[in-house]
């Protein structure tokens, strides 16, 4: 079987985001499959000869990336429909509206849509009017590098970054959906408690070191607000922003964190909580979108609008070593349910369907 696989996400702004992570890991796994030939392309004109199908591993809502006329059966991956769920925070503009119309037109001609979760599947059916049987759920996974580290390695990284004995970790972007102002507001109140005065918050991600001076864009409003709150509350010494971390360093941060926090209003999957699980890190997660689906019984869930609930749960986890150990064990078991081998195998089954 021969599949043409679009590698544009590896050459664009998506490279440093979840879409790039998905594309890279899936492509690596597919290329190891027996009796499956992967033809990498960026433009349809690059495809020479006959293929059994084409896979576009991403879908932009407001950019025309999916061709309307296709010579071969097509599969597209749509991770979530966040721009449609939170329209006020992702304004398309006139050109975006035109492109969205073209994207929906192109989507009708796709044989199948792959998505990360049942939550995303329901939204794709509802908001993009795709038939239920055309949408196939193929969960993601954290890669093998995310694991528990030994004490000597942890001591090295702790000294390298001068990390506190107790800190709360967040990894990822800072757009509206991530709900970072909520996390900063809760953290401000947490460290007011005498027994949590030593607690730090680590925000890992290149976006937190971004120079926002002179930049005015709706998608940056949440980041601006969160950074402004850190300054307003005099938390500069308590909120650490190490920037974009290499994988080995990021794994160490997960391992060293007392608790990982995911305050999102919505996630189509929620890869960071799976990475935290794989490192044995206790997880406090929002109860929205696909997060409960991915986290199962391994996380403690909160309403991302309920500040008192989050603070209460965070205090309980931070103070209770027995609970931390329990969540760590549950997390390791939950992470073991996901693997890139499974993701690749289930993606290949979709390819088999378009061939038949």
Angle at 292 between CA 251 and CA 229, to 5 degrees: 65
294 contacts 308 by C-beta, under 8 angstroms: no
Strand-pairing partners, residue 286, are: 302
> pTM value?
0.93
Angle between helices 321-335 and 307-319 (to 10 degrees): 100
Domain locations in the chain? 2-141+339-355, 151-335
Q: Give the dihedral of Cα atoms 252, 254, 257, 259; nearest 10 deg.
A: -170
Q: Which of 76, 263, 126, 129 is nearest to 186 (CA)?
A: 263
Distance from C-alpha of 177 to C-alpha of 222, rounded to nearest angstrom: 9
- pLDDT value, residue 70: 73
From first to last of its 356 residues, what are the pLDDT tens digits of the chain?
Answer: 999 999 999 987 766 677 889 999 999 999 999 999 999 999 888 888 899 999 999 999 999 989 887 778 999 999 999 999 998 888 888 999 999 999 999 999 899 999 999 999 999 999 999 999 999 999 999 988 999 999 999 999 999 999 999 999 999 999 999 999 999 999 999 999 999 999 999 999 988 888 776 666 666 788 899 999 999 999 999 999 999 999 999 999 999 999 999 999 999 999 999 999 999 999 999 999 999 999 999 999 999 999 999 999 999 999 999 999 999 999 999 999 999 999 999 999 999 998 76
Encoding tokens for residue 283? 């997880």
Classify domain 2-141+339-355 at the CATH superfamily level. Answer: Glycogen Phosphorylase B; (3.40.50.2000)
Residue 91's contacts (CB-CB under 8 Å, 6 or more residues apart) are 218
189-224: b or e for each residue (b if 16 or more CB lie within 10 Å)?
Answer: bbbeeeebeebbbbbbbebbeeeeeeeeeeebebbb
Q: How many CA atoms lie within 13 A of 86 on its CB side?
A: 16
Q: What 3-state class would DSSP assign to 4?
A: strand
Do 2-141+339-355 and 151-335 agree at the fold level? yes
Q: What is residue 237's predicted lDDT score, i.e. its pLDDT? A: 94
Question: Which class in CATH covers the domain with range 151-335?
Answer: alpha beta
Render pLDDT for 226-282 as a digit per residue (tens, 0 to 9): 999 999 999 999 999 999 999 999 999 999 999 999 999 999 999 999 999 999 999
pLDDT score for 356: 67
């Amino acid at each position: 079987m021969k599949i043409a696989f679009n590698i544009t996400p590896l050459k664009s702004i998506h490279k440093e985001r979840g879409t790039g992570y998905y594309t890279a890991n899936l492509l690596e796994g597919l290329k190891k499959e027996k009796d499956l030939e992967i033809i990498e392309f960026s433009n349809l004109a690059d495809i020479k000869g006959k293929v059994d199908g084409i896979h576009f591993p991403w879908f932009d809502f407001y950019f025309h990336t999916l061709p309307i006329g296709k010579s071969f059966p097509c599969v597209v991956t749509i991770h979530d429909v966040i721009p449609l769920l939170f329209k006020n925070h992702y304004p398309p503009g006139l050109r975006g509206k035109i492109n969205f119309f073209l994207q929906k037109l192109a989507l009708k001609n796709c044989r199948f849509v792959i998505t990360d979760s049942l939550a995303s599947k329901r939204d794709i059916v509802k908001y993009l009017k795709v038939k239920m049987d055309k949408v196939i759920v193929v969960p993601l996974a954290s890669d093998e590098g995310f694991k528990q580290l030994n004490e000597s390695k942890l001591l090295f990284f702790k000294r390298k970054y001068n990390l506190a004995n107790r800190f709360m970790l967040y990894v990822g972007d800072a757009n509206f959906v991530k709900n970072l102002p909520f996390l900063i507001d809760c953290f401000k109140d947490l460290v007011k408690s005498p027994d949590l005065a030593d607690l730090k918050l680590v925000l890992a991600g290149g976006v937190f070191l971004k120079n926002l001076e002179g930049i005015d864009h709706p998608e940056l409003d949440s980041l601006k607000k969160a950074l402004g709150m850190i300054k307003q509350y005099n938390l500069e010494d308590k909120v650490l922003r190490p920037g974009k971390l290499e994988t080995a360093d990021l794994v160490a941060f997960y391992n060293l964190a007392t608790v990982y926090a995911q305050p999102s209003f919505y996630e189509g999957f929620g890869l960071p909580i799976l990475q935290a699980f794989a490192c044995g890190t206790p997880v406090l997660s929002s109860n929205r979108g696909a997060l409960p689906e991915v986290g199962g019984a391994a996380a403690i869930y909160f309403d991302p609008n309920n500040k008192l609930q989050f603070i209460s749960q965070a205090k309980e986890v931070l103070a209770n070593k027995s609970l931390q150990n329990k969540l760590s064990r549950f997390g390791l078991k939950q992470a073991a349910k996901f693997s890139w081998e499974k993701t690749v195998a289930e993606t290949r089954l979709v390819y088999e369907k378009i061939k038949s």
